[in-house]
Structure 1
């Protein structure tokens, strides 16, 4: 499921039709003013024409800002989905349709960067939890980790890594306590923790390194 479809599902509305990958037109097939009027009136043909005409520009801006082709594709879809749903907010008297689309693009790029930062923070919080040496120093997992995201990703880990991280996150145990409970050497526990966190980092889409050596 794409990001745009997930967003529409979360709010309980039917998603806008998935648009094809943007391809520049050889030449304008409709005057910009007429396209804008049709778009504002809810003409889906004008939505598709706007996507063909300005989709490449939206994609290029997102690609340059995010440095990731897949994220840029998702942002492009989100921009036109948001524009279509919020088309009543477009006022031709205050600016052009492409200018309005660029404003939405900048906001969606900012949202994508914020989501990326959040994923990085999730992994950093997980690593910090494993480096704690005493239970009374622990930060509540509920306050540090998004359980919905984390539970799904933990389920994909190899069993030893999943067990170590589950004991750390949900049973609030330190690495030493995990070693005592499992009977594994402390070095083995640290190794499983490190590998598990690195896998989480990759799956959550962040390049941040997590140091679990302590």
Structure 2
């Protein structure tokens, strides 16, 4: 008599195994177990950007719905790091939409995600130290101003690539730029953004030193 071997339950699988099986079979329970493992971290990230807690909770659920499609189409190597960046970018898109809605939505600080190392703020599990929080806010403001000073084409390509996770071809289709120009805007925009931030950092250092 032969017994059919049962497939392992989601709780028995590693993150990588769950990702692979979900991408192949699309079983939502696999993704649910995977997401639940990392949900406390995701909620902590959302709370850094969104208030009240109800908004952060809503963002956590919205992100899961987003992952249902994204993780069927994309292969992810380092899931915890990827999820951290994705959760942060999701919150930033919410903040940007609030900013576009007007001042009645409350004050908004726009943060741009990692662009070849130009941003080191917003790391997970920062403490509540007041001085560190003040420094973070200053960096965020500098980043916002740097992004606003970029030429429109560079700024739009950076937003689509880093915030909305679009590929070169999607960016070209949305902006009307050819692929060569999209790549050029991304390279030049990243370089200009870093240069602007380096200049702002030096100016801030000189101001503080003169006090």
Report the TM-score range of the alignment, normalised by the length of the smaller protein.
Answer: 0.3 to 0.5
- Structure 1 length normalisation: TM-score? 0.39
Query: Normalising by the residue count of structure 2, what TM-score does the alignment of the two structures yield?
Result: 0.40
Q: Give 1 or 2 for the bigger CA radius of gyration.
A: 1
